[in-house]
Amino acid sequence: MKRIVRKCFLLWLFLICVISFGIFLGKVAKNLKITKLSLVTQWNLSDTNYNLQNKMVQKNRVIPMDSIWEEQTVYLGENLLSEKDYLDIGIIFTKITGNGVLKHKYQTLVRSILKNTRSPIHIHLITDDQSLLAAQHVTRILENQHRVPVKVTPYFLQDIAQQVKDVISIMQAHFSAKPGAYYADALFFISLAFYKAAPSTLKKIVFIDVDCKVVTDIRELFLHFSQFQKDNVIGLTHELTPVYRHVLHTYRAKHNNTPFGGPRKNGFPGFNSGVILMDLDKLRSSVEYASLLSKTVIDVLAAKYNFKGHLGDQDFFTLTGFEYPELYYVLPCEWNRQLCRWWEHRGYEEVFESYFECSDKTKIYHANCNSEFPDF
């Protein structure tokens, strides 16, 4: 009897030990899993602070692992923007036939966007048949290289130009040097009325010139939509050359104290359209903006300021910005760091640097007038 009791007791102790050991192993495995996930998260987590006009926004980016994609949402105006949302980017890419340089510019721009983001990209491509084929080929290669989802929606230039031909004809008369000139082409005025041709499901878009290079996460740029004031419908950086000082030379001679055409520190140098933020919903509902797309208004403004432009859409934004500044959100210069120095040696040597200066860390380089990007 004692032997049986002893065996039962030993068996009971053995079971207790097995159960305890199992619990111990479970806890160890759980701790190891937590530690592993913690290490992976630390490796993939990019903690970046964005100071948008003294408003701090914390962004936590986590690279997706297997089927898990943790995300941090931030406010984009009235809507939420998550890292799963496609970022809508407009690019004008036409007349590629016989222009290998233009194809290289497109490749440089798209590569720079995909290289620096984890957000999926939706390219809205204003294009033609041959240019579309080239863009699709380049985009697919870059998408595979950088593992970032990309969609391409084509908008054929000829079709859009037909839809907004009334607006284009008005603007060509005032904002191109002469018929047949480079900036007289319809493509340089498409942005002004793109909201009329865009699908109603498209709410916000950022247009970027094909001669730009992005050196940060393009998602940061979309956060600026949340900084738009009530009447802001478009966001642009200032022009970083004295081109509008030159355009306004007659007006400035009669108005010595005018800020128009002056450098950013004490004046308004005009806008540059290399990067454009468009709140399409606001544009669709803005009676004030729509009224500016009329021949009567543009004729009156152009006459008042003795304004004869030659740079397409940005001439319109600049001229209307003189009297309707509430329509425009001023984007910090680092988001369109223009590199053109053409005007420096055209009689403006003494004042050029006061326009060209942009001390903040560059986020988008704009190699306008065939400038070269700096070495990285």
More confident residue, 24 or 258: 258
Give the domain range for residue 74: 48-80
Is residue 320 in a domain?
yes
pTM of the model: 0.79
Is residue 31 in a domain?
no
270 and 301: one domain? yes
Low-confidence winner among 11-20, 52-61, 322-331 (lowest mean pLDDT): 52-61
243 and 195: one domain? yes
297 and 255: one domain? yes
- pLDDT tens track for 34-89: 333 332 222 222 222 323 333 333 333 332 323 222 333 445 554 556 667 999 99
Low-confidence winner among 76-80, 89-93, 265-269, 338-342 (lowest mean pLDDT): 76-80
Is residue 3 in a domain?
no
Is residue 200 in a domain?
yes
DSSP E strand stretches across the chain: 45-52, 55-62, 74-76, 79-81, 87-92, 121-127, 150-156, 204-208, 212-214, 234-238, 271-279, 328-330, 337-338, 364-366
59 and 172: one domain? no
On the question of pLDDT at 180 being above 80, the answer is: no
Is residue 18 in a domain?
no
Counting residues of the chain whose pLDDT is more than 90, the rounded percentage is 71
More confident residue, 34 or 252: 252
> Which stretch of DSSP H or E encloses residue 266?
none
56 and 134: one domain? no
- State which of 80, 101, 123 marks the end of a domain: 80
Distance separating alpha carbons of residues 284 and 305, to the nearest angstrom: 28
DSSP, collapsed to helix, strand or coil, labels residue 25 as helix
58 and 157: one domain? no
Low-confidence winner among 15-24, 69-78, 128-137 (lowest mean pLDDT): 69-78
133 and 180: one domain? yes
205 and 354: one domain? yes
pLDDT band of residue 11 (cuts 50, 70, 90) is low
| Nearest Cα to Cα of residue 159 among 132, 137, 136 | 132
pLDDT band of residue 28 (cuts 50, 70, 90) is very low
301 and 357: one domain? yes
How many domains does one find in the chain?
A: 2
- State which of 56, 80, 104 marks the end of a domain: 80
131 and 205: one domain? yes
Is residue 110 in a domain?
yes
Is residue 22 in a domain?
no
Q: What average pLDDT is seen over the chain?
A: 83
95 and 72: one domain? no
140 and 197: one domain? yes
> Residue for token digits 């986590």?
62
Looking up residue 318, the CATH number of its domain turns out to be 3.90.550.10
- State which of 63, 80, 97 marks the end of a domain: 80
Is residue 12 in a domain?
no
